[in-house]
Structure 1
Amino acid sequence: MSVTSDTATGTGFTAAYAWTAEVDEAPVSVSAAGDLVAVAGAGGTVRVLHAAAGAPVDVFPLSEGLLHAALSPDAQHLVVAGPGGHALWRRADRRVRRALTGERSQAAAWSGTDRVAVAAGRRAVVLRPDGTHVWTTGPGAGAVTGVAWMRGGRWLAVAAYGEVRRHERHPAAPVATYPHTGSRLALALAPTGRWICSGNRDVPLRVWRTRDGDRLALSDAPEKVSRLVFDDTGRWLAADGTPHVTVWDFSGDGPAGSRPRTLLAPAAVTALAWRPGTRAHLASGGDDGTLCLWRAAAGRAGGSLRPAHRYALGAPVVALAWSGPGLLVAATREGRIAALRLPDGTRL
């Protein structure tokens, strides 16, 4: 892996690359937390890098390949998941605990720094950072494709074929089930736990209010949704699934009866990531190699927005992650990892 620095010229301003790196396999997932960035490659190589300069911290393999990576919020632990199982990495001594169970694992999510939920076939397993088992959900109708915690870890949402389930801390059986036709569910949970959202290739975006299980009727809801992301405040939800991106306002009683903002992306969207903070700044990557930055809450509901800034990365963007509000890490299909330094939130 080689690391260099340069500048990137986009519309509106020139952003300095903090660093760029070339890896020898296609990245599939990028995670950032604290002073670290983790890159998971399709072939099974995990690279842990310093966020500030891209210098390598550690490299290790997961022999069955990789689908997902997630650093703990304190950057002391990393979970990676793949077709044959998962692994946990500890920063203090670089120890890797592999659990190659043969069960497909394609999602993981941390609850604070002391628990992580990992997809394991038709179940989700909750672990301590050292790999100690805490509890396991009961099996669903199909493979788990998404997991998400309510802020504070009070409960866990699990997406699988035909349903989203809500689990309290330890019982294997869900406390609530939200049926959803089709497979490959995208899952988003509002940080407050008030809303659960899902989407897939078969039906439009679905939204449920968790307190009573009611499903909201949305006008202009996109279909073929594969990416759903709430911002830090839980007010704004970004969804792909149309030729562009829709952004929904969940303030008040939620988006029922309202129309979303439409972000006019220049090409099919392949990655989404909200900037940390409260200003509703969104980054998107496209299959044409374009990286866009958006003021996603600008204008009015039902209106259309164009990118505030855009950059050409030269190859399809496969993953995005913010390392704090000032550094955006992008990975392209050809193996380029680029960390861009961006203006502060008041000047985007």
Structure 2
Amino acid sequence: MSIPAPDEALTAAWETTIDDAPVALSACGDLLAVAGAEGTVTVLKTATAAEVGEFALPGGALHVALAPDARRLVATGPMGYALWRREDGRTTVHETRAWSSAAAWANDERVAVASGRRALVLGLDGEELWATEPAASTVTDLAWQRQGRRLTVAAYGAVRGHERHTTKPVVTYPYIGSHLALAVAPTGRWICSGNQDASIHIWRTRDGSELTMSGYPEKVSRLAFDDTGFWLAADGAPDVTVWDFSGKGPAGTAPRSLRCHETITALAWRPGPAGHLASGGHDGTVALWRATAGRPQSQLHPVRTLEGDSAVAALAWAGPELLVTAHQNGHVSAHRLPSRTTL
């Protein structure tokens, strides 16, 4: 198999270094947030990498998420969470001593954070609006459905749906196992969990019917739907697998396989319907794919690759033409791509 040589045709927009080991990125509007393992959260301008703000989350960081209007930011970590306000840089830290690995904005005014065995829904200044009842174990991931009206929460044994202000779930999707990642289709038709037992479990929201894709050689800890909701990318193997959720869904079908990395460390779909995917590997390589090309069981090759000097820690698209890459050694860079219809 031949892999394209590193592609110098991509325009390097900027490069910077943060004094921490990046673990997560979030891009929204004109801002980019970089979270580091030791708890440093740096906010940059996406166009220039000029620093807008910085704060520390005690105990380290695991996740970061900008609000849709880029006026607020939430960071989560092993010891709690923090909210940052753009207009004056004020940071409110909540040291809850509860593991917090995920956060998701419902809109510009509400954000959900995992906090131990519960999910908390917070207002703009961090005030608690409501919380779910405790799950059987630590909440590992969460997502919003129905335009921010239903919160979907993953923890051992089940994925549960909570309507606004409902402590108890209004719907439960049981699955005996540890959920590591959650992906909800933008169409609302599908809920998928990536699991410790090396499987992907799928529920159709309309009727609760379910399907398990098993046989992965490793645990599945990264899942991502594209903007159409028709394509799901997953790790769990040296190949990225891309499943077709159009029509009746993936039952009885085979995925496309994208081979470039020995170990996958990041996945990010390009905004829009073109089916372009970026993946990162432990070897520092970033690969760009036409991930929906070919037929089921096709083995696809990267269209372009970029080489880094340490493992890829996170990827984020700042709009359809700017791809941001963070590496474990603290290097963060942005590359400008051709129009959204080409790679």
AA of the residue aligned to 2:301: R
Paired with 2:58 and 2:32, the residues of 1 have a C-alpha distance of 21
| SS of aligned partner of 1:152 | helix
Aligned residues of 2:216 and 2:236 also touching (Cα < 8 A):
no
Paired with 1:18 and 1:264, the residues of 2 have a C-alpha distance of 27
Paired with 1:22 and 1:137, the residues of 2 have a C-alpha distance of 39
Paired with 1:207 and 1:213, the residues of 2 have a C-alpha distance of 9
Q: Does 1:289 align with 2:255?
A: no
**Mapping of 1:16-165 within 5 angstroms?**
16-165=11-160
**Partner residue of 1:335 out of 319, 324, 330:** 330
AA of the residue aligned to 1:268: T
Deviation at 1:151, TM superposition (A): 4.7
| SS of aligned partner of 1:21 | strand
| SS of aligned partner of 1:199 | strand
Paired with 2:173 and 2:29, the residues of 1 have a C-alpha distance of 35
Q: Which residue of 2 aligns with 1:3?
A: none
**Partner residue of 2:195 out of 197, 200, 204:** 200
Structure 2 vs 1, CA of residues 222 and 208 (structure 1 numbering), >3 Å: closer, same or farther? farther
Q: Which residue of 2 aligns with 1:187?
A: 182
Paired with 2:214 and 2:25, the residues of 1 have a C-alpha distance of 33
Deviation at 1:181, TM superposition (A): 3.0
Cα-to-partner distance string for 1:220-256 (whole Å, 9 max, x where unaligned): 6675100000111111100000121110111111111
Structure 2 vs 1, CA of residues 310 and 77 (structure 1 numbering), >3 Å: closer, same or farther? same
Paired with 2:22 and 2:7, the residues of 1 have a C-alpha distance of 29
Under a length normalisation based on structure 1, what TM-score does the superposition of the two structures give? 0.94
Q: Which residue of 1 aligns with 2:318?
A: 323
Under a length normalisation based on structure 2, what TM-score does the superposition of the two structures give? 0.95
Aligned residues of 2:260 and 2:302 also touching (Cα < 8 A):
yes
| SS of aligned partner of 2:10 | strand
Q: Which residue of 2 aligns with 1:6?
A: none
Structure 2 vs 1, CA of residues 174 and 98 (structure 1 numbering), >3 Å: closer, same or farther? same
Deviation at 1:180, TM superposition (A): 2.5
Paired with 1:78 and 1:308, the residues of 2 have a C-alpha distance of 34
Structure 2 vs 1, CA of residues 39 and 219 (structure 1 numbering), >3 Å: closer, same or farther? closer
Aligned residues of 1:280 and 1:297 also touching (Cα < 8 A):
yes
Paired with 1:184 and 1:256, the residues of 2 have a C-alpha distance of 21
Aligned residues of 1:261 and 1:303 also touching (Cα < 8 A):
yes
Deviation at 1:218, TM superposition (A): 4.1
Aligned residues of 1:219 and 1:259 also touching (Cα < 8 A):
no
Paired with 1:336 and 1:248, the residues of 2 have a C-alpha distance of 32
- Segment of structure 1 superposing worse, 303-312 or 203-212: 203-212
Cα-to-partner distance string for 1:166-195 (whole Å, 9 max, x where unaligned): 111121111122222332521101112211
Q: Which residue of 2 aligns with 1:5?
A: none
Cα-to-partner distance string for 1:95-125 (whole Å, 9 max, x where unaligned): 1111111111110001121211100100000
Structure 1 alignment gaps of length 5 or more: 1-8
